[in-house]
A and B are shown apart, each in its own frame.
Chain A
Amino acid sequence: MTMIDTQVCSNVEDGNGLAIINSKAPFSSAYGKDALDIALIFGSFEQKVSLFFQGDGVYQLIDNQDGSLLSIKDYLKTFAAFEFYDIEDIYVCHQSLANRELDESFHIEGVNVLQSIEFSEALNQHAHILRF
């Protein structure tokens, strides 16, 4: 195997900010809430953070859900505060919605529905990525 010893990337080529990929449905685990906490702290430190929803993660955006019926503190309501935290880059994978027979009825404004290639390109603009 050959690997170039020099660092191929300069800071100029590096993207900026953090992307968080949400891949889990909202209620059976704490992954969504744990990811949200990270997003909000980055927002409050005025660091760029973008949210990506893929796979079952798209269920976190769907309208008319009610976690309180399950005695779960409904952290999805906090999504409404994204604007306050300057979290404006929110992307959802179109294919993931289509596979689940979901339309684009989200419980927050400003969600960008992207085809796989654009979704991948948007993700690619970031310096660091976490996935929950």
Chain B
Amino acid sequence: MKTLAVVVTTPPYSHLTITALNYVEAALQAEVEVIGVFFYQDGVMHANQNISIASDEYQAIQHWQRLHQNYQLPLHICITAAEKRGIVCDALDNEKVNQAFTVSGLGELVELTTKASRLVQF
């Protein structure tokens, strides 16, 4: 079974993220089982609700949301990395976290790494 876990460390305003998105989408279309995307370092900025990217530019966040909706792709953000970047991960008031993303700890990365036959970092 081809299972894949992906780590994304680049923010939504980095062009490198487009490559990560294209790769993950190609994997999903090829019916690879993508067991989760773990956003680390500046990657957690994808879950920031306050980010506004000019409408004529690439909308990385919307594309992650689309993959999440169409393929039930699990998107995890690292809570420590998120909080230090101003993304409040309060269980009662998490309006700063995009709902397509799950607030997780690094333990989730351990889980994904153990389960996946391939781990790819972007």
Q: Which A residues have a C-beta under 8 Å from some C-beta of B?
A: 7, 14, 18, 30-31, 34, 37-38, 41-42, 45, 47, 127-131
- A14, A34, A41, A131: the one within 8 Å of B110 (CB): A41
Flag if B110 contacts A47 (CB, 8 Å). yes
Flag if A41 contacts B106 (CB, 8 Å). yes
Flag if A7 contacts B2 (CB, 8 Å). yes
Complex CA gap A64/B15 in Å reads 39
Q: With a CB–CB cut-off of 8 A, which chain B residues contact A45?
A: 107, 110
Question: For chain B residues 96-122, which have a beta carbon within 8 Å of chain A?
Answer: 105-107, 109-110, 113-114, 116-119, 121
Flag if A41 contacts B107 (CB, 8 Å). yes
- A41, A42, A131: the one within 8 Å of B121 (CB): A131
Flag if A38 contacts B109 (CB, 8 Å). yes
Q: How many inter-chain residue pairs (CB < 8 Å) link A and B?
A: 35
Q: Which B residues have a C-beta under 8 Å from some C-beta of A?
A: 2, 7, 40-41, 80-81, 105-107, 109-110, 113-114, 116-119, 121
Q: With a CB–CB cut-off of 8 A, which chain B residues contact A18?
A: 113, 119
Complex CA gap A37/B81 in Å reads 11
Chain B proximity of A14: nearest CB distance (Å):
8
Complex CA gap A47/B40 in Å reads 19
Q: With a CB–CB cut-off of 8 A, which chain B residues contact A128?
A: 113, 116, 118-119
- B111's closest neighbor in chain A, by CB? A45
Report 12 cross-chain contacts, Cβ distance below 8 Å, ordered by A residue.
A7-B2, A18-B113, A18-B119, A30-B41, A34-B40, A37-B80, A42-B113, A45-B110, A128-B116, A128-B118, A129-B119, A130-B121
Chain A proximity of B26: nearest CB distance (Å):
14
Complex CA gap A11/B117 in Å reads 9
Chain B proximity of A21: nearest CB distance (Å):
10
Complex CA gap A18/B5 in Å reads 13
Q: With a CB–CB cut-off of 8 A, which chain A residues contact B117?
A: 14
- A7, A14, A30, A37: the one within 8 Å of B106 (CB): A37
Q: With a CB–CB cut-off of 8 A, which chain A residues contact B113?
A: 18, 42, 47, 128
Complex CA gap A42/B119 in Å reads 15
- A14, A34, A129, A131: the one within 8 Å of B41 (CB): A34
Q: With a CB–CB cut-off of 8 A, which chain A residues contact B114?
A: 47
